[in-house]
Structure 1
Amino acid sequence: MILSVALSASLALTGSPAHAATKPVTFQGFTIQVPIQWHAKKEGVNLRVITGVCSPQAAECQSFLLGGPQAVKYASEGGPYRPDQPYHPSSGVTECVPVKKYNSGQATRVRTSKAVFGAGQRARFTEWKVSCDGSELNVASYTQRVWYVKAKKVIVVDHWKTPGLGGILAKAVWS
């Protein structure tokens, strides 16, 4: 009883997650609403949305990348995005995202589907399981999720399984 009263009071004071405060992030002709505590940071012509901690052990902060035509043009080893390959813009070996002391290894496609990316737009959604080092046992791995809107030359890359990101992108507003 005390727990349910405390939980009810907490939700009354902070609001449920469905009513959490948001702010707009605009990129390449679309706007998404993200939680107010997330922040956007320019990375060249791309935009990285920081969603959590920046651990010194990780290769990047908890975040996702919003990329436009340049990110699509150089998304696969310096060549154009290939839906049958994970997003990997450099031609060299990349660090494992959660544990940067290892190199990324093999990637296995988990699933591919169509996803809503705002009214009137569809994205090709692909999820990859990336092993951090195929030569060692019990080494970290991570999931790479990619939304690609071919008609708009927009790509979203998430290495952290950001909770709710698919729903946020589904509600994107295109200008």
Structure 2
Amino acid sequence: MGLAVAAVLAAGGFGVYETVGRDAPSRTAAAEREAAAGKALTLGRLGLRVPASWQASPITVQGRAADSFYVTLAGGCATGGTWRPAASSLGSCPGFAVMGPSFFDKSESGAYGGGPYDPKDSFASKVSMSCPRHPDLVAGGAGKGASQTASKGIELGRRTAEYHQWRVPCFERGGDGTGSVYTERIWYSPSAQIVVVDAWNTPDLDTVLHRATWP
């Protein structure tokens, strides 16, 4: 009996399925091959190899060169052509944000609608953003029940970085809780002053970021 089948039977035969054994390494290898063969994106000082369908747009702040970007996934943003990239786009458009040094500068971060980044709280706590898939709801921070579910040291390219994962609650605009939550994943390099934030469980993003390059 294969390990994957045994895992299903151990869980009662239905409802729970976790791939184990040989499949997980093969999927990781496939993701690494796709990332290596994809197109190049330069996002400030961060270089990535990504699927051809991903598109990057600068998050502009008046009076300075853009050092922050929003990367949309296949299909872009279904907003009738009115979408503009912003830090708060994380809640309204499938993709991820790459926020550069200006988002860490207290004198400049306000131009993004919030900031600077605080690794002790969710990204949502710093920008006014809707919850993914729930544009009528607003995301909350640690002060409103967001909880950190993972925290560890990683490598972003060849730089030492931090990985944080949050369980973020969603609220009515008037402040009432709803029971809806989403997962927020954050890759943070203090030395480079870059934070990458994903609220859409972007496939293989961890592999893409692990293979990042720096100038």
* Shorter-chain TM-score range: 0.7 to 0.9
Q: Distance in 1 between matches of 2:151 and 2:166?
A: 9
Superposition deviation, residue 97 in structure 1: 2.4
- Tell me: CA distance 1:79–1:49, structure 2 relative to 1, closer, same or farther (3 Å): closer
Superposition deviation, residue 158 in structure 1: 0.6
- 2:154 maps to 115
Superposition deviation, residue 127 in structure 1: 0.5
TM-score normalised by structure 2 residue count: 0.64
**Which structure 2 residues correspond to residues 120-159 of structure 1 after superposition, within 5 A?**
121-133=159-171, 135-137=176-178, 139-159=179-199
Q: Distance in 1 between matches of 2:180 and 2:78?
A: 15
Confirm or deny that 1:173 pairs with 2:213: yes
| Equivalent in 45, 50, 54 of residue 72 of structure 2 | 50
- Tell me: CA distance 1:164–1:107, structure 2 relative to 1, closer, same or farther (3 Å): same
- 2:122 maps to 86
CA contact (8 A) 1:148 1:154 kept: yes
**Which structure 2 residues correspond to residues 19-58 of structure 1 after superposition, within 5 A?**
19-20=33-34, 21-44=37-60, 45=66, 46-53=68-75, 54-55=77-78
CA contact (8 A) 1:34 1:168 kept: yes
* Bigger share in helix: 2
Q: Which structure carries more relative contact order (alpha carbon 8 Å, separation 6+)?
A: 1
CA contact (8 A) 2:31 2:207 kept: no
Superposition deviation, residue 60 in structure 1: 1.6
Q: Which amino acid aligns with 1:68?
A: G
CA contact (8 A) 1:143 1:159 kept: yes
Q: Distance in 2 between matches of 1:18 and 1:69?
A: 28
Deviations along 1:90-131, one digit per CA (max 9) or x if unpaired, are 3xx532222011122331111111111112x01111001111
Identity of aligned residues (%): 27
Deviations along 1:46-70, one digit per CA (max 9) or x if unpaired, are 21110145355x9421100011011
Q: Distance in 1 between matches of 2:91 and 2:114?
A: 20
- 1:163 maps to 203
1:174 counterpart SS class: coil
Unaligned runs of 5+ residues in structure 2 are 1-29, 61-65, 80-89
Q: Which amino acid aligns with 1:66?
A: V
CA contact (8 A) 2:31 2:204 kept: no
1:152 counterpart SS class: coil
Q: Distance in 1 between matches of 2:121 and 2:198?
A: 15
CA contact (8 A) 1:98 1:140 kept: no
Q: Which amino acid aligns with 1:72?
A: F
- 1:69 maps to 101
TM-score normalised by structure 1 residue count: 0.77
Superposition deviation, residue 149 in structure 1: 0.4
